[in-house]
Structure 1
Amino acid sequence: MALAHKQLEVERIPWHFTEKEAIAFSGQEKVPIIVDGEQVVFDSWNIANYLEKTYPNQPSLLGCSQAKAQALFIKNWDEKVLTPALLPILIYNVFEHIDAKDKAYFRENREQKLGKTLEEFKEVKQSQIDNFRTILSPLKETLNQQPFLAGEKPNFADYIIFARFQFARSISPIKLLETNDPVNMWREKMLDLFNGLARQSLGYN
């Protein structure tokens, strides 16, 4: 979404959890990674800042310094609050959808981190969904008053949070949001951006 916002052409390369050698050139083991000429940049926040600096004449992802600071808060809130609440809801669905060659690695890695078997996450309770929706309250109140987190138009703050819902959409049939929830209405608008770029990806409703 950030690259589309910047109106940049991109070649996407599929990747598996176990293909660490394929991204060894980046000096670390996580995605996303972009390669722009001779420049290699990893981590979504680093990528956004790189794109802003390198392509200043394209539409801004982060806006003014105040907007950038607010986007940084959204990034940290997502990583420390939103994602930890979402992960237990989705993790078994992730395991079901990943390639067979990644399953053993994924199981060992995630069970070690979580201290539970993946099967213990298979049954998702309504209380988990309710808790997740409660965590979304600041987003709901914001989006009840304006079209996007960034205001009248989306910026990187919107893309940070939307990435979580797009990830959920790609691997799980679980209904995280009520139809009339302002967050769901925002999600629908995000799916339609850039000629429906996100909606074109395979996923559930």
Structure 2
Amino acid sequence: MAKNNTITFYDLQLASGCTISPFVWATKYALKHKGFDLDIVPGGFTGIMERTGGKTERLPAIQDDGEWVLDSWLIAEYLDEKYPDRPTLIGDPSVKVLTQAMEAWLWKTAISPWMTCYIKSYRDRSLPQDHEYVTESRERMFGNTMENIIVGREDRLPLVPPQLELMRTTLRNNKWFGGDSPNYADYRLLAVFLFLASVADTPALTEDDPLRDWIDRGFDLYGGLGRHEGMSPIFGLKLREGDPEPFIKDPAKMGGGLASRNTGPQSTQEETAHLRGTKK
């Protein structure tokens, strides 16, 4: 059992002390969700083996009164199993499956293009001793120099917000992805935007993005856990002529499917008229 309600948490940080990894962010939120205090072991990309006494080369990792747990999903499952009397993170196994599907979609849709826009900032904000590692590993990953990877990002950034409509549609009818209160699904998805705020040297979302309500509430959880001074504003993207609309401004015009519910013939008359081309 956690001694003095405290669990040792191995952080992955930038030079500002801000957490960088989405997986580490999700774990930090999971521990707070369970009501634990954190004994944070700071550090960056290099020296992880030394900090963890040879237990792991990757983070997150926690130590609970001498018991080591590695991997963000395993940590969440461990916390639920070890501390069932505290607020549940995952609950039904289906939550994990659906969250992993949603997370994979969000990584492909947002993190991948954002990395090509912020990879230089990602390196420049890391600890000085991490610069060489981050540069070599990420340039090898992308097959180009960081300076070349970010070229044209002003054209790529406006393409991401319109792809996030799936999240907006869900949050129009739900306070959290966990329903009335956040669960581990919220933390896994919020972690993507926490990562964004840790590296964004220019905003990625417009000021009026409907996702802002959920993101702001998520960043404010647990005493402002996502409000580290080293993080940057992610809202304020300025669109240029020809850029796509960042989100659907009038959900009522989306048509049927997930956006509406069948309550009888009258509820679908407008959609039917639209499909038949008779809508005035």
TM-score for both structures, normalised by structure 2: 0.67
**How far 1:103 sits from its partner (Å)?**
0.8
Match of 2:79 in 1: 51
Structure 1 residue ranges, 4+ long, deviating more than 6 angstroms after superposition: none
Please tell me whether residue 72 in structure 1 is matched to residue 64 in structure 2. no
**How far 1:83 sits from its partner (Å)?**
2.4
**What does the per-residue CA deviation read over 1:55-87, in whole Å, with 9 as the maximum and x for residues that have no partner?**
111101112233333223233334444322322
**How far 1:9 sits from its partner (Å)?**
1.4
Q: Would you say the 8 A contact 1:111–1:117 is kept in 2? A: yes
Q: Which of these residues, 218, 221, 230, is aligned with residue 193 of structure 1?
A: 221
**How far 1:193 sits from its partner (Å)?**
1.1
Q: Give 3-state SS (helix, strand or coil) of 2:88's partner.
A: coil
Greater shift, 135-144 or 65-74, is seen at 65-74
Q: Would you say the 8 A contact 1:41–1:47 is kept in 2? A: yes
**How far 1:91 sits from its partner (Å)?**
1.1
Please tell me whether residue 25 in structure 1 is matched to residue 42 in structure 2. no
What 5-or-longer segments of structure 2 have no aligned partner?
1-28, 234-280
**How far 1:117 sits from its partner (Å)?**
0.3
Greater shift, 78-87 or 166-175, is seen at 78-87
Counterpart residue identity of residue 135, structure 2: R
Counterpart residue identity of residue 39, structure 2: E
Q: Give 3-state SS (helix, strand or coil) of 2:69's partner.
A: strand
Q: Give 3-state SS (helix, strand or coil) of 2:182's partner.
A: coil
Greater shift, 5-14 or 124-133, is seen at 124-133
Q: Give 3-state SS (helix, strand or coil) of 1:34's partner.
A: strand
Q: Give 3-state SS (helix, strand or coil) of 2:195's partner.
A: helix
Q: Would you say the 8 A contact 1:179–1:185 is kept in 2? A: no
Alignment of structure 1 residues 1-205 onto 2, 5 Å: 1-22=29-50, 23=52, 25-26=54-55, 28-123=56-151, 125-205=153-233
Q: Would you say the 8 A contact 1:172–1:204 is kept in 2? A: yes
- Bigger Rg over Cα: 2
**How far 1:42 sits from its partner (Å)?**
1.9
**How far 1:200 sits from its partner (Å)?**
4.0
What 5-or-longer segments of structure 1 have no aligned partner?
none
Greater shift, 61-70 or 32-41, is seen at 61-70
Counterpart residue identity of residue 16, structure 1: G
> 1:66 and 1:57, CA in 2 relative to 1: closer, same or farther beyond 3 A?
same
> 1:60 and 1:186, CA in 2 relative to 1: closer, same or farther beyond 3 A?
same
Q: Would you say the 8 A contact 1:74–1:160 is kept in 2? A: no
Greater shift, 172-181 or 108-117, is seen at 172-181
**How far 1:188 sits from its partner (Å)?**
0.5
Q: Would you say the 8 A contact 1:33–1:43 is kept in 2? A: yes
Counterpart residue identity of residue 184, structure 1: R
How many corresponding residue pairs?
204
**What does the per-residue CA deviation read over 1:117-146, in whole Å, with 9 as the maximum and x for residues that have no partner?**
011134452332222213312112111221
| Residues in 2 aligned to 1:61 and 1:33: alpha-carbon distance in whole angstroms | 17
TM-score for both structures, normalised by structure 1: 0.89
Q: Would you say the 8 A contact 2:118–2:201 is kept in 1? A: no
Q: Which structure dedicates a bigger proportion of its chain to helix? A: 1
**How far 1:159 sits from its partner (Å)?**
0.6
> 1:127 and 1:152, CA in 2 relative to 1: closer, same or farther beyond 3 A?
farther
